[in-house]
Amino acid sequence: MAVTVDKTAPAGKGHNAFAMAQAQFDGVAEYLGLDAATRELLRNPLREYHFGIPIRMDDGSMKVFRGFRVQHNDARGPGKGGIRFHPQETVDTVRALSMWMTWKCAVVDIPLGGSKGGVVCDPHNLSAREQEQVCRGWVRQISHDVGPLLDVPAPDVMTTPQHMLWMLDEFEHIHRGHFPGFITGKPVGMGGSLGRTEATGFGVVFTIREALKEMGLRPDATAASVQGFGNVAQYAIRLYEQLGGKVLCVSSWDQADQTSYSFRKATGVNLDALLSITDRFGGIDKAKAKTMGYEVLDGEAWLAQEVDILIPAALENQIRGDNVERIHSKVKLIAEGANGPTTPEADAVIKKRGIFDIPDFLANAGGVTCSYFEQVQSNMNYYWERDEVLGRLDVKMTAAYLAVSELARKRGLYMRDAAYVIAINRVVEACKQRGWI
């Protein structure tokens, strides 16, 4: 199906993420023949909150940070989705991400809706105390419009289990009681689930494993290149290597230079060695990497490697019309660990070249699936063993992957479109049953 993008979207590299999410939805809505009211309901968020978060900084000055929560759709259950801390955060990015959360929860068939939050800030430049104040301030501004039965936040880009615990603590002070189901991604032992930290990266690799099986390829005969070196990338590399795959290149953001670099080793990167020279945001030390024998290349070099698999696991808008041609002819599979890494122009080229693409809201659904398990455990106040969590995660991710790939094969659809068809149908059905449309 054809995807057209709103050309009025702000200029810049890539697209306005919300215009991109709407264009993807519109293409599938047309294919499904959805009526006008249904389209109107689902191409926009149901509710959104914009607020200021005043913080007293360590030097005594006051600063106001912009915060958001966007609730796209909660027909299938309470809203669910992470909170990002990022200096370039915009409300349109949060809108897009909230919409993608709706489809993500629906495609893995968990009883949750889609939301997303954000704060315009750079935690690299905030002390631990200032970060705590941002977390508590975010909850204070929205404490009556989120909650275990309404909308449940989680970690995302540059937010951590510690941030989640500060948010929970503030929520519990305001509402007087213990409400561990208010937030997920909490530290283990404080209401968190074993396996949650690994879940997104591992989930990406569960889908890669299934795709390789369908292609008749053994993981130990493949090589991959990864964009990003944060939580998702690190655990994806860990499990992919356990399956026998070799990662030849990773990229990471360099805070000092305000750009990213790629790190390549022809014999394969050493995950533990790289982790020993990586900061808490996933930034790899260039000088130390060089002494370890890594070639340090430009930030997009990860895309041009002679590998079988590409795993974009950083941010949205990374594979675009202006760089998609850098993808090596050997690449057979792209597994989108990030949300929205591929713009519609790049997607069209990937489709034409016959590269198999596992779309973001399917490939990276392991995080929210494990968040759902965490909520279940928190509500029961009974916690499972790590193997039980990861076993259930594997079952859920594999079933979702197989349902999408089967539909794609049957109807001759691109994987992203097949995933959308399943997700949108489930959400439309829930809205109909509730009498919303």
Q: Which stretch binds ligand GLU (CB under 6 A): 32-40, 253-261, 311-319, 365-373?
A: 365-373
- Binding residues for ligand GLU, rule CB under 6 A, total 12
Task: Compare residues 131 and 375 and give the one whose CB is closer to ligand GLU.
Answer: 375
Q: Is 397 in the site for ligand GLU (CB under 6 A)?
A: no
User: Among the residues of 70-184, which ranges form H helices?
Assistant: 91-107, 128-142, 161-175
3-class secondary structure, 212: helix
Cα–Cα distance measured from residue 381 to residue 208, given in angstroms and rounded to the nearest whole number: 33
Q: Is 283 in the site for ligand GLU (CB under 6 A)?
A: no
Query: Which of the following is catalytic: 116, 186, 332, 396?
Result: 116
Q: Which stretch binds ligand GLU (CB under 6 A): 15-23, 366-374, 401-409, 429-437?
A: 366-374
Task: Compare residues 108 and 212 and give the one whose CB is closer to ligand GLU.
Answer: 108
**Could you tell me the two tokens for 162?**
């510690």
Q: Is 69 in the site for ligand GLU (CB under 6 A)?
A: no
**Could you tell me the two tokens for 30?**
């047309």
Q: Is the torsion defined by CA of 10, 96, 363, 430 positive or negative?
A: negative
Task: Compare residues 24 and 262 and give the one whose CB is closer to ligand GLU.
Answer: 24
Cα–Cα distance measured from residue 225 to residue 84, given in angstroms and rounded to the nearest whole number: 25
Q: Is 118 in the site for ligand GLU (CB under 6 A)?
A: no
Rule CB under 6 A: choose which of 98, 102, 225, 371 binds ligand GLU: 371
Element (H, E) at 53: strand 47-56
Q: Say if CB 31 and CB 421 are below 8 A apart.
A: yes
Using alpha carbons only, how large is the chain's radius of gyration in Å? 21
Q: Say if CB 73 and CB 427 are below 8 A apart.
A: yes
Q: Is 265 a catalytic residue?
A: no
Q: Is 367 in the site for ligand GLU (CB under 6 A)?
A: yes
Rule CB under 6 A: choose which of 78, 82, 137, 191 binds ligand GLU: 82
Rule CB under 6 A: choose which of 368, 390, 393, 397 binds ligand GLU: 368
User: Among the residues of 143-251, which ranges form H helices?
Assistant: 161-175, 196-215, 231-242
Residue ranges that bind ligand GLU, judged by CB under 6 A: 80-82, 104, 154, 156, 184, 339, 364, 367-368, 371
Q: Which residues are catalytic?
A: 116
